Amino acid sequence: PKSSIYQLLNLFGKIMFWKIKGEDEVRALYAAASTPPSLSYTIVRPGGLTEAASVGPAAIELNQGDRWSGRIARADVAEICVESIAYKDTQRVTMEAYYSDTRKPLQEVGLSNILKLKSSGADTRGSGKERRGQTWGQLFAGLSADTLIKQQDSV
């Protein structure tokens, strides 16, 4: 990722580099032939975290592919993590989570989050992977499972 926020956070001990490396390692573990299909993971990439109270699924947008970000309360991130356990659509999935009214292109999100700006709604371009819903089931419906690549054993 070439976004300014990614580069800024990497100045502090390569935070983003190590997050991505950790995600890749989780995916590699599940790609191993010995991993039972009944075991799964869900990787949630929250936008800028706030201390606000939970507002629930209707305010949240999920996306896949590192195109958008925004802000989201820690309480809603916790709910996403807990609720995702009950839905097959979240198995072996990586997703970004943020409030839809704070959505900005990833390249613009840093300053927007710091200033707590809302989205103007003018940028309606989508990736086709945005997910919104009134319930957790609707919000999670249609998420794409990660493509798992088996790592070669090093000699």
Q: What are 18-47's pLDDT values in tens digits?
A: 888 999 999 988 887 676 777 889 999 999
The pLDDT assigned to 74 comes to 98
How many C-beta atoms lie closer than 10 Å to residue 15's C-beta?
A: 13
The residues, any chain, with a CB within 8 Å of residue 14's CB and separated by 6 or more, are none
Structure tokens at 108: 């613009």
The number of residues in the chain equals 155
Look at residue 53 in the predicted model and tell me its pLDDT: 97
Cβ neighbours for 119, distance < 8 A, ≥ 6 positions apart = 70, 100, 101, 102, 103, 104
* C-beta of residue 27 within 8 angstroms of C-beta of residue 148: yes
Segments of the chain scoring below 50 in pLDDT:
111-114, 122, 152-155
Sign of CA dihedral 4, 6, 12, 14: negative
Tokens representing residue 40 in the block:
């799964």
Instruction: Please give the backbone phi and psi of residue 52, each rounded to the nearest 5 degrees, phi first.
Output: -65, 160
Query: What integer pLDDT is reported at residue 94 of this predicted model?
Result: 96
Do residues 12 and 63 lie in contact, with contact meaning Cβ atoms separated by under 8 Å?
no
pTM over 0.85: no
